[in-house]
Amino acid sequence: MNLKLRLTVTQFLEFFIWGSWLISFGNYMFHLGLGDKIGTLFATAGIASFIMPTIAGIIADRWLNSEKLLGVLHLLGACCLFAASRATDFSQLYLCMFLNALFFMPTIGLSYSVCYSVMASHRMDTIKDFPPIRVWGTVGFIVAMWIVNLAGWGTSSNQLLLASASALLLGIYSFTLPPSPPTKAQKGSSLVSVLGLDALILLKEKKMAIFFLFAVLLGICLQITNSYGSAFLGSFSGSYPNSFAVRYNNIFLSVSQISEALFILAIPFFMRKFGIKTVMLMSLGAWVLRFGLFGVGNPGAGMIWLTLSMIIYGMAFDFFNISGSLFIEQETPGKFRASAQGMLMMVTNGLGAIIGNYGAEAVINYHTVDNVTNWTTCWFIFSGYALIIGILFAVFFKHK
């Protein structure tokens, strides 16, 4: 099989696993009568993102080939997902999904590392050749969402079985990939260096400290609609049972992922035209609209507002994540860049996601009476939060 195709299959399956359950799982939990625990369960991904990528990175750097570690982690994840599909109460479900998060979250970065290593050993241009390979990961995520929706598995444990089967497949497939041997950490490296925390020294600089603080505050927004979007649309099943957004909510929500892929292509233009700070402010403004349009929309006459919310998601998600990464690349000394990029991931998808999921759960549970949620109020609260963060960012973050 062609090498590019082999790496493309890796990326496709990597995100197919995630797409099989991530967007529809909130609706499944509501179906189980566990709607008040959605934030708690989704926070497991944040906890895992905070601790596991570093541990997996140390293992891959010192002792085990990256492709083999990728295979082992996916095989363990497949077992956890299968067990989760058989869970009968929240404690069992939480344990299975928490273990799955611990095994799955580091595989995202690890799958990139495998691709980079293999491409480098075969003298391929990573800047030119990797993006067309990576985009198939987004395609895999979308395809999985569509399969779950069209098969009617949005409120069924079959979505977990699909994820488990695809994790098993990728686990086995990973062992067939070209070798990515350990790079071996330099002798005498400090514990801080080994743990990838060198970039903490950057927080002594006021501008960088403010940037990472806002990265946490914005990270709170990132996963709220992924956690609750499907459950929100499912709440209209009584009033709009035949609406496309209700019957095929996963397919409808996949417009957000399509938008995400397209907005990545627009970032170079916006960066050249407006600069990093303005692009980041555009992201915060887009989050205000993302939540606010959910608040005014419905699957009937308000369908246009829901659709616009799906489209704006790409700008909201990409413009801070990508421009933030570029800011780190431009403003950080070379010896700290890798560590700083890892720290950005930890504070946004780790700490921010943990706070965001628990916070969103508290807000939604407070506004839920007799299993009926006042979604409009909840979305406006989230929108107001994003607006306040945007104003504070404009005032306090100084950057030409």
Task: Find the helix packing angle between 126-150 and 90-121, rounded to 10°.
Answer: 150
Task: Supply the mean pLDDT for the chain.
Answer: 87
Alpha-carbon gap, residue 335 to 343, rounded angstroms: 14
CB 288 within 8 A of CB 169: no
Q: Which of 17-31, 39-53, 76-90, 245-259 has the lowest mean pLDDT?
A: 39-53
Question: Is pLDDT above 50 for 187?
Answer: no
Give burial (CB, 10 Å; 0-12/13-18/19+) of 184: exposed
Tell me which residue has tokens 């273990």.
99
Question: Is pLDDT above 70 for 278?
Answer: yes
Tell me which residue has tokens 């957000």.
256
Question: Is pLDDT above 70 for 269?
Answer: yes
Tell me which residue has tokens 């090498």.
3
Question: Is pLDDT above 80 for 151?
Answer: yes
Question: Is pLDDT above 70 for 335?
Answer: no
Alpha-carbon gap, residue 163 to 81, rounded angstroms: 7
Of the segments 32-41, 49-58, 337-346, which one has the largest average pLDDT value? 32-41
Tell me which residue has tokens 């720290």.
343
Scored b (16 or more CB within 10 A) or e, 370-386 reads: eeebebeebbbbbbebb
CA-to-CA dists, residue 395 to 66, 209, 281, angstroms: 43, 15, 11
Domain parsing of the chain, residue ranges: 1-183, 195-400
Tell me which residue has tokens 């956690």.
227
Specify the higher pLDDT residue, 326 or 357. 357
What is the pLDDT at residue 341?
67
What is the pLDDT at residue 12?
96
What is the pLDDT at residue 260?
85
Query: β-pairing, 368-369 with 372-373?
Result: antiparallel
CA-to-CA dists, residue 57 to 97, 316, 320, angstroms: 22, 29, 25
What is the pLDDT at residue 172?
97
What is the Cα gyration radius of the chain? 21
Phi, psi of 180 (to 5 degrees): -125, 85
CB 144 within 8 A of CB 162: yes
**152: pLDDT confidence band, cut at 50, 70 and 90?**
very high
**59: pLDDT confidence band, cut at 50, 70 and 90?**
confident
What is the pLDDT at residue 185?
52
The domain 195-400 is placed in CATH, from the list 1.10.940.10, 3.20.20.150, 1.20.1250.20, 3.30.70.260, at: 1.20.1250.20
Q: Which of 149-158, 180-189, 256-265 has the lowest mean pLDDT?
A: 180-189
Alpha-carbon gap, residue 67 to 60, rounded angstroms: 9
CB 288 within 8 A of CB 383: yes
Q: What is the pLDDT of residues 319-334, one digit of tens each?
A: 887 778 777 777 777 6
Of the segments 161-165, 200-204, 212-216, 240-244, which one has the largest average pLDDT value? 161-165
| 23 HSE (CA, 13 A, CB side) | 28
Phi, psi of 373 (to 5 degrees): -100, 135
**148: pLDDT confidence band, cut at 50, 70 and 90?**
very high
What is the pLDDT at residue 188?
47
pLDDT, average across residues 166-170: 98
What is the pLDDT at residue 193?
57
Specify the higher pLDDT residue, 400 or 20. 20
pLDDT, average across residues 19-44: 92
What is the pLDDT at residue 50?
80
Of the segments 44-53, 294-303, 338-347, which one has the largest average pLDDT value? 294-303
Specify the higher pLDDT residue, 216 or 1. 216
Residues 96, 196, 115, 117: what is their CA dihedral angle, to the nearest 10 degrees?
-140
Question: 1-183 and 195-400: same fold?
Answer: yes
Specify the higher pLDDT residue, 322 or 104. 104
Phi, psi of 156 (to 5 degrees): -120, 155
pLDDT, average across residues 274-292: 92
Say yes or no: domain 1-183 is CATH 3.40.50.300. no
